[in-house]
Amino acid sequence: MKVTKISPLKRLVTVIPESTLDILNLFMVLDVDDVVYAEVSREMKKERRDGSVDSERVRLEIGLQLERKSLNPMMKRLELLGIIKYESRKLGLLGKYHTIHVNVGTEITIESRRNYARLESMARYYRQRPENKIAVVLLDDEGVSALLLGPQSAETLYHRRVSTAGKHDPDERYKTLASLYSSAAAALEEKLDAETEILLFGPAVYLEDFKKHLSGRGGDLLARVRKSGYVSDSSAAGLSEILRSGMLSEYGERLKMVADSKAVEELLARMSSSPDRVALGFDEAVSALEMAAVDKLLVAEDFLWERLHEEEVAGMLVKAEATGAGVQVVASGSEPSDILSSLGGVVALLRYPVDPSLLRKPSKQPNPSR
């Protein structure tokens, strides 16, 4: 989330969500009666003397006093319904209802009426969070991929695969790979900031060839290589392999995908070694929270999109905060998220062993017939 303004005096912050997870966080901090400012479009109708009606869509900034907030899981957006209290153009909209749709990239200003401390805390967390990115280059005998890993997501800078048909001709194969190396290096030079670290992964022979190419190319790319290691695939599967292996563990505080992968790997290890220190699914997790036995909650982002509007789910998060349990939302569209969803969308890592039977709510028995 990009935070462009924090004003304690006016009790407002201005933010731009950069991921769908940011939108969920906005849903959590917004309260009824908060005023939300955003640029919107609205259709205005004018009646002519002959009775015909012209319509025109105009853009303006409005301030909306929030009455209802909701999540749209299909569109992955936040919908805010309320009464217009401010209009940047005098169009007679004051007192009318409007819905602001908050998508990734939508700038909004929130004026808190009830809980500014929580809103400011969220904004300062995002502002102080390190935004450093790292570049990962994956190499093998069939291609090269260059990815830019940021706090929330991965961006493909370069990706090229070549046919395996020419493997019988080493000279031709070398020329093809050299061409790919040159294109990948050019993409890194063009798209990376000067301080971005570079990590290389692949079989040793291709790592050395790529380093030699960078050395002969000049510039500072080779000097910015901080780490190298083995990976068997230069496609997207290679990145998953790296995350599972823990080779990026030192970047966990900077990169969410690394933190998510590490957390789910820890979960799987604990399920194998100490299954009585894991609560699986929403009901078991809530039971464990009621015992104050939860060390950390892992929650799939998709689970929150579908159920965060439910009082029981919101109550689970409040209970976690009250009992000192950590909460980690695992971003959707990833292997860790798929694993977590297959386990019910919510898993609790426990502070101490708990008999699984104590976590399961008794099934309701039908009333005996008379």
Per-residue DSSP letter, 219: S
pLDDT of residue 111: 97
pLDDT, tens digit, for every residue of 224-276?
999 999 998 888 888 989 998 889 988 887 888 999 999 999 999 999 999 99
How far is Cα 343 from Cα 350, in angstroms, rounded to an integer? 16
Question: Where along the chain do its domains lie?
Answer: 2-42+58-128, 134-251, 262-359
Using only C-alpha atoms, what is the Rg of the chain? 26
pLDDT, tens digit, for every residue of 321-367?
999 999 999 999 889 999 999 999 999 999 999 998 888 876 555 55
User: Are 2-42+58-128 and 262-359 the same fold in CATH?
Assistant: no
CA distances from 296 to 257, 299, 341, 359 (A): 17, 10, 17, 16
CATH of region 2-42+58-128, choose from 2.30.30.870, 3.40.50.1000, 3.30.70.1140, 3.40.50.12780:
2.30.30.870
pLDDT at 165 over 60: no
The CATH number that domain 262-359 falls under is 3.30.1330.30
Confidence tier at 92 by pLDDT (50, 70, 90): confident
Per-residue DSSP letter, 366: P
3-state secondary structure of 140: strand
Count of beta carbons in the 10 Å neighbourhood of residue 43? 8
CB contact set of 369 (below 8 Å; sequence gap of 6+): none
DSSP assignments along 299-326, one per residue = EEHHHHHHHTTSHHHHHHHHHHHHTT-E
- Cβ atoms of residues 337 and 300 within 8 Å: yes
CATH of region 134-251, choose from 1.20.1070.10, 3.30.420.60, 3.30.465.10, 1.10.3720.10:
3.30.420.60
